[in-house]
Structure 1
Amino acid sequence: MVQHKFTMDLTWSDGRNGTGTINASNLKTQISIPQEMDGPGIGTNPDEMLLGASATCYLITLAALLERSDVAVHDLFLQSEGYVSVVNGVFTYEKIVHKPTIVLDNLTEKLETKIARFAQKAEQTCMISKALKGNVVIECDAQILGACI
């Protein structure tokens, strides 16, 4: 078994509406509660970071699936949305929707069907998606386009 260890050092001051810092090998930023949740909105926040972890894992997984299948991608874009609800003062991360746009030079109907399957498979096999399964709904709404050359 190979196990990888990731570490992060954090600081925090001044109670709920205070601010803090995150310091990891490639991530250094301020943190606070977002303004939408009556916080100061300084730096990033747990909601953005969870969305970022899910989105980057999904995108990398999708790129790997496409590469392994020798699909020549012209462009690959992703917009992801995270939905948090508040019920009786309790915040719940309900859903993440990944919206990849995959652009190919030589798009055929057969290839479009194959890529649509990869878009769904990436969501199902991504490490972060698997970690969130059962707690956060994750959906994929892929747009597959032919490049205008």
Structure 2
Amino acid sequence: MKRKAEAVWNGTIKEGSGHITTQSTTLNKTQYSFNSRFAEGVGTNPEELLAAAHAGCFTMKLSADLTEAGYNPEELRTSSSITLDNGKITLSALKLTAKIPGISNHEFQKIAQGAKENCPVSGAFSFELTLEAELIS
């Protein structure tokens, strides 16, 4: 399987702007700029897209692992916060809340850590990955 996206940029780094389009067109000429990356401008940025990819991939892997272990998750809610520090991405911090009937916290934590370590997006990252996982009733 291959997926692709295209980025177009026009102008200088601070005054210019660009757009990103994904193969599925979920992002279709979605704007990004210096301000959307380093300030509070309108549009997306690479770190936000990495955060979305990591949260989505981890959550799907966790659902698969829980299902394989015989559990039926009612809801898995994950956020990822990507840290850009001095021009380098240094961290993806995953935060999960989960509602899974019949699972112990110990088993839940074990399966969640395994999903963090083994989702394909985690494997593509060379920076620190953390997980804070909470089982709710």
Give TM-score scaled by structure 1 length.
Answer: 0.80
Corresponding residue for residue 143 of structure 1: 134
- Contact 2:36–2:45 under 8 Å retained in 1: no
Corresponding residue for residue 10 of structure 1: 7
For 1:1-149, what aligned pairs fall within 5 Å after superposition?
A: 4-17=1-14, 18-24=16-22, 25=24, 26-28=26-28, 29-35=30-36, 37=38, 41-86=41-86, 91-107=87-103, 111-132=104-125, 135-146=126-137
Give the aligned residue type for 1:48: E
Taking every aligned residue pair, what percent have the same amino acid on both sides?
26
**Per-residue deviation, 1:35:** 4.8
Within 2, Cα distance between the matches of 1:33 and 1:53? 21
Within 1, Cα distance between the matches of 2:88 and 2:21? 26
Give the aligned residue type for 2:80: S
- Contact 2:94–2:132 under 8 Å retained in 1: yes
Give the aligned residue type for 2:32: I
Which has more radius of gyration? 1
Within 2, Cα distance between the matches of 1:36 and 1:13? 16
Alignment root-mean-square deviation, CA: 1.8
Gap regions ≥5 residues in structure 2: none
Gap regions ≥5 residues in structure 1: none
